[in-house]
Amino acid sequence: MAAERRLLEAQGQRVVFWSRHNDDVNQMGRWRLALGTIWNRQAFRECRAMLRRERPDVVHVHNTFPLLSPAVYYAAQAEGVPVVQTLHNYRLLCLNAFLYRDGRVCEDCLGRFPWPGIRHACYRQNRAASAVSAALLGVHRCLKTWQRMVATFITLTEFQRQKMVLGGLPA
């Protein structure tokens, strides 16, 4: 993100950087973190206020998990700002974000509700945390958040693009 920011600024673009650090989870209770992972009301309000104030042409999202939540996409839509999402991993398809479990490639959750990921405690070897991650995916798949709220996805490789499309994201 820093390199991208420097490149854009070197070309005369104004860049507004807004983020949260995952260390902030240590100051949150478990229930607040769980609910906020699925929909963070505070992030929605803060993001929307920032967008209203700054009036950017585009929002480029790198990661919403776990602190910002997909609520930031909805904030952007509410302010009429298109969203570009760079996918740095397989988080939208897989609870551990790697498509890898027990020393092998794992696509058990690809294109369906991630029950296997909960059963295998794929997120942090914790079934409760895996269930929260699965709820995030389930809720936002039902809402079609990624299809409706993201104008463009950027994948790092063609292989990743193919897997994301197999998992239900637009080509």
Query: In this structure, is residue 139 part of a structural domain?
Result: yes
pTM as predicted: 0.92
Inform me whether the pLDDT recorded for 20 exceeds 90: no
Q: How many domains does the chain have?
A: 1
Query: In this structure, is residue 20 part of a structural domain?
Result: yes
Query: In this structure, is residue 171 part of a structural domain?
Result: no
Query: In this structure, is residue 74 part of a structural domain?
Result: yes
pLDDT in tens, 22-54: 777 778 788 888 898 999 999 999 999 999 999
Query: In this structure, is residue 69 part of a structural domain?
Result: yes
Query: How far apart are alpha carbons 115 and 170 in whole angstroms?
Result: 23
Query: In this structure, is residue 123 part of a structural domain?
Result: yes
pLDDT in tens, 49-105: 999 999 999 999 999 998 899 999 999 999 999 999 999 999 999 999 999 999 999
DSSP secondary structure string, 91-128? TTT-TTSSSEETTEE--TTTTS--HHHHHTTTTTT-HH
Query: In this structure, is residue 4 part of a structural domain?
Result: no
The boundaries of the domain holding residue 29 are 14-166
Query: In this structure, is residue 6 part of a structural domain?
Result: no
